[in-house]
Structure 1
């Protein structure tokens, strides 16, 4: 099995081996409760005290408090609660206090959400005020100076989790001191631990939360610094642990592990220095530039942590980049790990004013200070593999010949569908119902494949097709067309007779023809093989229609004709032909997921042994398949049939003798859609690998 390359260090890190050993020791040998006064408890307390003392020295805590907790989110909650309780008490005493809760526009969402939460629960009715940042992600200190006098609490971060941009804490502190504001100041130090030098007691910072799992300690353990004299209200009350500051029996395994990491930082013999980390990032950046033409870096390297890259690639979404990297076993994320599952632009990059395509398509690549030259070299090789896969799939420009694509290609945007009918042998294609959002993608694809576009047609009259026609340039050869984009004259267009005896205009695509059929005020298109000037219903493989179950199609298509819709909100990809009987031409029922559709990875070997004719099918996109760095499930060779080409291949499977089809993808989501599609179309031996490659590894 190929080893994964983990480049998502800003999300979490592996646990340092020595820290694992300390956690095991705390659970197995020093398992005592540090609040107990017997020898076993005292041994545990010694571990606790040593870890705290190390943190105090390393972070310059001085006379301030340093308590252990569950992590940064708890630390943020405690900080905000402590500050706002103090604000309410000062209000009750009639003291002048600011009305604004100021937070940086690029703060982790835990900050503004905590501010809103406690502001509401405490009934303060203060106003949340977002402090803008400039194009480099730096806080606008001039605007901070304007609002500082009205602030009750100011929240900033030491370094941003998405971009690695390091805040000008000295500049912020200067503004706070110069304006004489009585506001409290919290600094999120989660990304700073082990990457920035901190001397907390020498600053005006009131609260600083930390999280262990961002620097090789386990999840579920963190720290909170509170400046000497800063107000404090415990978030958790009970047994009085942590000197009454944070009740609950201490997470000794986590604290012991974190203590080992802190000790390694203090010794300086374990983690890479900044200069070496800078060189690692430069090598990764060079590899990205070589593999992904046009790549744009969204974070200024000279103002960011040396362990973070944030980039976008023209024409590629963050989902596509995530998928190809993941296929190559390179783990990256789309922005913050807390929000990467959401299909939305990065609010951090939006705040920096970057164009929408960069914000929506951004990838974060980050590594920890344990990275070494071998890891970086391997990552660079995988990055080149990803670039090659994207070039072969025509998703990025290339000077070399791309892999020839043939057949039917489905593209979609928010439920709307566009279809490309391609014939590699003749080098020709037709575009059906192009979407404005895909103009650049389709034009680049056509140029990459060097196709002649015989027509750009629609199922409805739509002037938006013209933008694609213009983008295609010399690749578009249709000439004069009607309102649907259909070529008007020979030799490109000719007549064929349909099953119902009607005549239709057609375009030749290699051995097949695409015929135009009137469907009320709309058009439908039939793709099949003509026979002596006739297009028999039995030879019509596909019908394209705005009304997916248009009655007119039943008279000219056969029982094996697949309907390809212009909208596919339910991810059905294609549907069966409606019955010739009006009484039964109802909408095709949705197929729910049944247990017999799924195969557990543990049972896959037995299933394949029992069904030697079964076919393993990878439904990830072609660029993912090409970038894959691991063998198929059960060590078997797999065939690539992306979901975007499922309709075309489904027609083949349904016309041949059925045999078991086992679909798989990364997580099992896409393979289940393929399985449901084939079952719905009548293929009873379609299965999905439950959990996909992620759980089969």
Structure 2
């Protein structure tokens, strides 16, 4: 495969490692010591680990000691939702409230019994129904509740109103708030302390770090009652096992780069997204954009053309050198109906054609133009077949 002849537009699945990050990883691979060893080599490894912890903490408005490294967003979310998350002065949560558009690592990665889980609806744009959240919290007064709502949806890019969600939770009293921020970190500003979140989870490969490394961030006064991986006591005794130092160092470097470039890069990516959306609307006016009217990640465009199956479009686009997806990349490569779009009230027929274009650090205007031209050819083929069948 000649990568120079392809346009990679699937950054929400994985954003390719930046060259600077690859260099940092390579340097970490050359460190011979274990971060838990007390000799000079061990201290050097420990210093690299703690530097990365500080870099990541700075990206999300936390202190280094609030960061626990994991293998990725799924493990981090499972640790928060399956462990005994506690806040000083509050009992352990006995009820879980999640939005209807959560990633499977939240929807399925918890310890709560079915009768103690409430799935809260979203509106047609994919935003959590805050009136329903407020009503359900009022109905659960006297109970300890854990609310888990993602910062941004992986398929549509819709950004949830976390500050308002936290405000409603605090009004209830005995409520903890977790956010799966996997898709948001490194793309939009996020500050754990300013938002008032109790827990935030993330994955490095969504913002140009290597695959297989992530983190959870716990606010002051919030803890897990027990280790989620028992062993040697690493990561403040929460996650045993020798740390993935090259991956962590790479994530730290990626975090530092993302933080420095956040505002300018967000504006650049939003320009690409908006230009593509405008061109598609002009040339293929039948397209439907999902999440239209709601705040969205600057890099994400999710849409469908009525009558066009996603599987057909993906094959044609791939052959044309265009890498996009039909939504989440966490379903073993399958193209299936999206529960996210179903929750938004999108018809099965339209949802079956959903495509997601997600730009990233190496995306350029020529990638936009290549995709627009490629999709226009796919749409023209569909219209031609319709004309022949008429």
TM-score normalized with structure 1 length? 0.52
Change (3 A) 1:390 1:237: same
Q: What are the residue-to-residue correspondences of 1:605-684 with 2, within 5 Å?
A: none
CA distance in 2, matches of 1:226, 1:349: 31
Matched, 1:105 2:47: no
Q: Which position in structure 2 is the counterpart of 1:10? A: 12
CA displacement, residues 239-282 of structure 1 (integer Å, 9 cap, x when unaligned): 111121211101011011111112213333x8843222221111
Secondary structure, aligned partner of 2:5: coil
Change (3 A) 1:271 1:9: farther
Q: Which position in structure 2 is the counterpart of 1:144? A: 133
Q: What are the residue-to-residue correspondences of 1:197-346 with 2, within 5 Å?
A: 197-232=189-224, 233-268=226-261, 272-300=264-292, 303-339=295-331, 341-346=333-338
Structure having the larger proportion of residues in helix: 2
Q: Which position in structure 2 is the counterpart of 1:193? A: 185
* Contact 2:272–2:368, Cα closer than 8 Å, also in 1: no
1:350 deviates by 0.9
1:52 deviates by 0.9
* Contact 2:127–2:294, Cα closer than 8 Å, also in 1: no
1:285 deviates by 1.4
Counterpart pick for 2:349 among 357, 376, 382: 357
Q: What are the residue-to-residue correspondences of 1:63-142 with 2, within 5 Å?
A: 65-83=66-84, 86=86, 99-115=94-110, 118-119=111-112, 126-142=115-131
Return 69-78 or 334-343, whichever deviates more: 334-343
1:289 deviates by 2.8
Secondary structure, aligned partner of 1:309: strand
* Contact 1:163–1:309, Cα closer than 8 Å, also in 2: yes
1:14 deviates by 0.7
Change (3 A) 1:197 1:343: closer
CA distance in 2, matches of 1:280, 1:44: 40
CA distance in 1, matches of 2:213, 2:206: 10
CA distance in 1, matches of 2:136, 2:94: 10
Change (3 A) 1:255 1:96: closer
CA distance in 1, matches of 2:53, 2:76: 16
CA distance in 2, matches of 1:82, 1:5: 41
Change (3 A) 1:272 1:97: closer
1:300 deviates by 1.9
Q: Which position in structure 1 is the counterpart of 2:34? A: 33
Counterpart pick for 2:365 among 357, 376, 380: 376
CA distance in 1, matches of 2:235, 2:309: 47
Counterpart pick for 1:169 among 162, 175, 194: 162
Secondary structure, aligned partner of 1:254: helix
Q: What are the residue-to-residue correspondences of 1:475-514 with 2, within 5 Å?
A: none
Q: CA RMSD in A?
A: 2.4
1:380 deviates by 1.5
Structure having the larger proportion of residues in strand: 1
Secondary structure, aligned partner of 1:185: strand
* Contact 1:284–1:376, Cα closer than 8 Å, also in 2: no
CA distance in 2, matches of 1:298, 1:44: 45
1:344 deviates by 2.9
Change (3 A) 1:301 1:27: farther
Segments of structure 1 that go 5 or more residues without pairing to the other structure are 398-440, 448-471, 473-697
* Contact 1:63–1:201, Cα closer than 8 Å, also in 2: no
Equivalent pairs counted in the alignment come to 382
Q: What are the residue-to-residue correspondences of 1:401-420 with 2, within 5 Å?
A: none
CA displacement, residues 563-615 of structure 1 (integer Å, 9 cap, x when unaligned): xxxxxxxxxxxxxxxxxxxxxxxxxxxxxxxxxxxxxxxxxxxxxxxxxxxxx
* Contact 1:330–1:379, Cα closer than 8 Å, also in 2: no
1:301 deviates by 5.7
TM-score normalized with structure 2 length? 0.91
CA displacement, residues 413-441 of structure 1 (integer Å, 9 cap, x when unaligned): xxxxxxxxxxxxxxxxxxxxxxxxxxxx7
Change (3 A) 1:282 1:207: same
CA distance in 1, matches of 2:301, 2:116: 34
* Contact 1:138–1:165, Cα closer than 8 Å, also in 2: yes
CA distance in 1, matches of 2:39, 2:48: 15
* Contact 2:125–2:294, Cα closer than 8 Å, also in 1: no
1:206 deviates by 1.4
1:376 deviates by 2.7
